[in-house]
Structure 1
Amino acid sequence: MDEALLRTLTPTVLAILVRRGADFAAAEDAVQEALLEAVRGWPGNPPRDPRGWLTTVAWRKFLDATRADASRRHREVRVDSEPAPAPGEERDDTLQLYFLCAHPSLTPASAVALTLRAVGGLTTRQIAQAYLVPEATMAQRISRAKRTVSGVRFNRPGDVATVLRVLYLVFNEGYSGDVDLAAEAIRLTRQLAARVAHEEVAGLLALMLLHHARRPARTAADGSLVPLAEQDRGRWDTGLITEGVALLQGALALDRLGEFQAQAAVAALHADARTAAETDWVQIVGWYDELVRLTGSPVARLNRAVAVGEADGPRAGLAELAKLDPALPRFRAVEAYLRERDGDLATAARLYADAARSAPSLPERDHLTRQAARLNNRADDT
């Protein structure tokens, strides 16, 4: 059974049913039933036209469900006579699914789950495993999201920015279970890039590729985190870096700068440095200035403080950090790093320990705890 093929076909078939008049929830249920039929029947008797087979079976499943509801018989007459979509229409239909799944009435968590299910073609179980939640919990989340967007019709262009934020959320979840969400986000963003010419779509794809290129070097053999400055750059994926830089250059040439292009530019500068010492921190500060101008993001300001500390010295970085809210996530970790670079090891050790207690993940907590222990050991040796 070719699972990759099924996942690729799922959004296309779902979009065809929605176009023919099925509401989103009913269409999605019908497609899932058709996928089950494919899993059972295809290994021994694969169809010559997989997309046509799935569309036919899903449409029949939808009609069966429609006929079972006497109050909607008038709708059955209408949709049963609708023609099949003309060649090429599926591109726009699939794009509509992106906008539907990123509908502003959905919470970010629901939008991500629905995107993975409807556009990504993942099962509820796979999504639940990726998010480390019970399958029943994820099923309820997806059902609520489907009910929310059922009946929504597009009479104006969708918001590309919202779709990109959903895809970025998927990417930042990383991976667990048998679904690599970072790789899945890249796959979905490639799909979107093939359907819409937009500089920020290219910027996001570039950002994902440049970050993903460093993934093999991010963890040691024991699973511990390896900071960027200490990573073995020979393990970075040069193919992904080359592709990401080319995408970024094409987007920047359009002279319509957006936040994902600015973030990708920072990632590209890290990728371009042969060693950590050769990193062009002055340029990175400039790109963070652009990012702050575009978004006003406190996280961008926090990252900018780190860059200033590298470009102009730790005390300059601490001065920038003093302008920010200490309640920001990772504020203590940044302060600890800058204090250590400034030679205040006792304060840095205390701050690393404080940061570890509020770390968002176990690997990050362990890394910060080791940093605190390392500095305390140095103090004991002096």
Structure 2
Amino acid sequence: MKIVDVETFLVPPRWLFCRIQTDDGLVGWGEPLVEGQAESVRAAVHALAEVLIGSDPLRIEDNWQVMSRGGFYRGGPVLSSAVAGLDQALWDIAGKAYGLPVHALLGGHVRDRVPVYSWVGGDEPAELVDAIQEQVEAGFTAIKMNACGRMPAAATPRDLAGVAERAGIAREVLGPDRHLAIDFHGRVTAPTAHRLLPLLEEFQPLFVEEPVLPEHAHALPDLVKCSSIPIATGERLYSRSDFLPALQSGIAVAQPDLSHAGGISEVRRIAALAETFDVALAPHCPLGPISLAASLQVAFATPNFLIQEQSLGIHYNVDNDLLDYLVDPSVLTFVDGYAARPVGPGLGLTVDEAAVREADRRGHKWRAPLWRHIDGSFAEW
């Protein structure tokens, strides 16, 4: 069996899909994407396709090594995301070739269902109660919210109290039997995070995500020590070597993204590395259905898995949502806050190719918002 074709599809709301076809007709799908830089990743996918055409798709590890290391320069969000989507597609082909779901090829499932959480925003407290109540009524037992909107470097007592107020509102709606995760999104400085974390302890978050920017990982050890709240990070880390300093700093939850961190192959290795530090895996995934399907395959086969993010109804999904490009959307539906174990071959879903090709004709030009502080300087989004 040989790879004969690699295609990409820029599909709304902000996703990029790739399709690999073999000479015997098998097709694998992946989701290579850097949000806001889909065109750059698309170019990288087609550059990597030059080394994939003619290769055996079942030699997944060899293909991964060639794509990741064969160009001498390696790593970074664009290249790692291109590799990630192609790697997902190769695993999809392997599962279809052997007639098994990917998690079976990874050693078999270690759980029967996977807990998932929903995202509810949190920038504006007025919208928080209704948004959380909606997720509770839908059966979800865990939600994640932003800690704040724009946060000045010199955060005032009012700024800090506002973050605690939002967390308190969320905890009151959720009650004591549901989980609350809080995402700092790298919006606060390390000193501000140091002041905020103790204020949030009474609301017992499942974790606080990205308390500082990934380039400030040297600040993580002090943040870990200043509070009992589990610290999570990893959506902007792309390899085992990127994760090692964060793991050594004492984080509690690793959050690699299956569409950024080298795909199924590398995230499996990140999970194993995290396990040696007694760190749980909670894959980042505010993206599309293929990325989520790949994440779930890893989740079912990973002993130290904690919880899975998913994007159904997230505010990014304007005009198109998580299930719109699937022949059978039921494979990614959730019951009582859990995803069922996929049993179909490969990634376990069937992409509606006609819908994808039609969407690609429309395309998209999604970009991350540009925020500024009140003094006109750049603000982290």
Whether TM-score is above 0.5 comes out as no
Task: Flag the structure with more relative contact order, 1 or 2, with Cα contacts below 8 A and sequence separation at least 6.
Answer: 2
TM-score by length of 1: 0.25
Larger radius of gyration: 1
TM-score by length of 2: 0.25
- Which protein has the bigger strand share? 2
- Which protein has the bigger helix share? 1
